[in-house]
Amino acid sequence: MAEGDNRSTNLLAAETANLEEQLQGWGEMLLMADKILRWERAWFPPAIMVTFLLLLPGLNQHGIISKYIGMAKREINKLLKQKEKKSE
């Protein structure tokens, strides 16, 4: 019975070590993202803007930007219509 417990403990330890190894990269990335979101360095905001500008062509290619611009236009038109109704 102890041998079976020992095997399951070893298996669990190996799986845990494997999982920790796989998640280590994500942890480092999350720490960097946390530092960026907190703007711990003076150069983070410009770096974020440059990165965003580099992503724009890809976002536009997939229609994501057009989709959100269309949504914004519809909302603005709704607000303008509501304002017109109130003024009448």
Q: What is the pLDDT of residue 75?
A: 93
Q: What is the pLDDT of residue 3?
A: 67
Q: What is the pLDDT along the chain (88 residues), one digit of tens a residue?
A: 466 678 888 888 899 888 888 888 788 888 888 887 787 777 777 877 878 788 778 777 777 778 888 889 999 999 999 988 888 7
Q: What is the pLDDT of residue 76?
A: 92
Buried b (16+ CB within 10 A) or exposed e, 53-69: eeeeeeeeeeeeeeeee
Alpha-carbon span 54 to 48, nearest angstrom: 10
* Count, residues in the chain: 88
Alpha-carbon span 47 to 35, nearest angstrom: 13
Buried b (16+ CB within 10 A) or exposed e, 11-42: eeeeeeeeeeeeeeeeeeeeeeeeeeeeeeee
